[in-house]
Amino acid sequence: MVFSSGVFVFLFLPGLLLMYYSLKSRTIRNYILLAASLLFYAWGEPVFVFIMTASIFLNWFLSILMSKSSLPKLWLTLAISLDVLLLGVFKYAGFITENLGLARVNIALPIGISFFTFQMMSYVFDVYYGKAEAQKNPLYVALYISFFPQLIAGPIVRYNQIENEITERHENFDDFSEGARRFIYGLGKKVLLANFAAQIADNVFGYIVNPSVMMSWLGAVSYTLQIYFDFSGYSDMAIGLGLMFGFHFEENFNYPYTASSVTDFWRRWHISLSTWFRDYVYIPMGGSRVSHSRRLMNLFAVWLLTGIWHGANWTFILWGLVYFALLVIERETGFKPGHFLTMLAVILAWVVFRADTVAEAVKFIASMFGLSGNALYDGGFISYVKGTWLVMMLAVIGIFPMAGNFLRRYRWIESAWLIAVLGVSVIEIVSSSYNPFIYFNF
C-alpha cells in the first residue's frame, strides 16, 4: 500500500483515524497502530511481513540480553550480524553470486527492507551505547520499527527520538493540522510533480535511442526533479502522518537543490541516512579524530556503504564513490564550487544512479555533451517542452523555499492553495494508474 493510492487516502487513513481517536487508552491506541501498520505492510507483502516481525522480535530479545549481560558487545555483534545477513540474503545474494560467476540467485526483495533494517540496527546501537533503555515490551519495539508512516521509505527514525512518545505522547489539534498540511504538500509533490517528471524521464532513458543533446538534458533534469519530489514528498507525508498520531519525526530534506557545495548538498539530502552513517559508522570508526589517511579510509567506507545501501548494482557503488571523491576534493582543497557546479555534479550523478549499467550511464552522459554523434535538438524535444513547460516550471519553483515562505506568511492564501492541491491530487489518484515510487526498491 502506498500513501498516494486510493485505498490509503479513501479507506485506510480515514478508518484508522476514526478508530484511533474514538479510543482513550494509550495502550490500546498503540496496539491499534501496530495492527494497522502490519496490515499496511502485509497489503503488499503478505509473506515478508512474517520475516519482518520475526526479525523485530529477535532484535528485541538480543537487546534485552545485551542490557543484562556483562558482555554486551557479544550480543551487539550477534544482532548486527543477523541484520546484515538479512539484508545480504534478500538484497545482495543475486548480485554477489552473479559477480562470482555463479548462477544468479533470484530472491524477491521485501519492500523497504533497507529502511526497517536500519531502524532495527539503530535501536540495538542506541541500547548498546546507553542512549536508550531496552524496551521490555516487544510490541512497542514492533510499533517503533513497523509504524506505517516511516516503514517502507523513511525517514529513518531513531528509537531515542520517539522513545518517550510511544507511551507519553500528547496529540493535539495544532499538531494534527500541521500534519495534515504536510501530508497534502507531500501528496501533491508525489502525485502532481514526481509522477509527471517520471513519465518524461522514463521515456528519455528507456525508449529513445541516441537522444539529442537537449533531449538528454531534459531526461536528466526530469529524473533529478522526479527523485527529489518523489522522496521528499513521501518524507513530507510520513512526517505529517506522524504528527497526526502525536509522533514528531526529524526533517529528512532541507531544499537540497539550493546547495552551494556537495558537502552542503549532503547536509540537506536524505538527512536521516547521512546522520545514521555518521553516528553508527563514521564516528565509531574514529571519525575525524584519527590520522589523515585513516580519516580518508573512514570516508571511503561510509560512501561505499552508502552506495551499496541503495542497491545491488555497480551503478550504485560508482554513485557512492563519485560522491566520496567530490567530498574529498572539497575538504582537501577548500574549493567552493557554488550552486551551478554543484547542481551539475548532482545531475550527472543522478544519471549514474538511474542507469541500469555503468556502460549505459557513460553512454547517456556522452549524449548530454554531444559526444555520441547526436543532434543538438530535435522535433521530439520541442514537442516535450511545449507539453510540459508549465508543470516543469512549477517543479523548479518548488525546489526553492521562497514560495513556501510566502504561503506561510499569508495563511488564507495557503489554505486555498492546500484545498486546490488536495483536490487536483485526488482527481489524479482516481484517474491515473501511473504511480511509480523509486525508494520502494531500497
Q: What is the largest CA-CA distance in the chain?
A: 72
What own/partner pairs with CB < 8 Å and gap ≥ 24 does 267-270 have?
Answer: 270/154, 270/231
Copy the grid coordinates of residue 101. 560467476
- What secondary structure letter does DSSP report for 185? H
Residue 347, number of CB atoms within 10 A of its CB: 17
**CA-based Rg of the chain, rounded to a whole angstrom?**
22
Over 219-250, what HEC string results? Answer: HHHHHHHHHHHHHHHHHHHHHHHHHHCCCCCC
How far is the C-alpha of 241 from the C-alpha of 181, rounded, in Å?
10
How buried is 345 (Cβ within 10 angstroms: 0-12 exposed, 13-18 middle, 19+ buried)? Answer: middle
Tell me whether the omega of the peptide bond preceding residue 46 falls within 30 degrees of 0, making it cis. Answer: no
Tell the residue number behind the cell numbers 560467476, with chain if given: 101
Catalytically active residues, by annotation: 310
Gap between the Cα atoms of 368 and 212, Å rounded? 8
Residue 143 · residue 172 · CB < 8 Å: no
C-alpha of 197 from chain center: 18
- Contacts with 405 (C-beta within 8 Å, 6 or more apart), sequence order: none
Number of CB atoms found within 10 A of residue 89's CB:
13
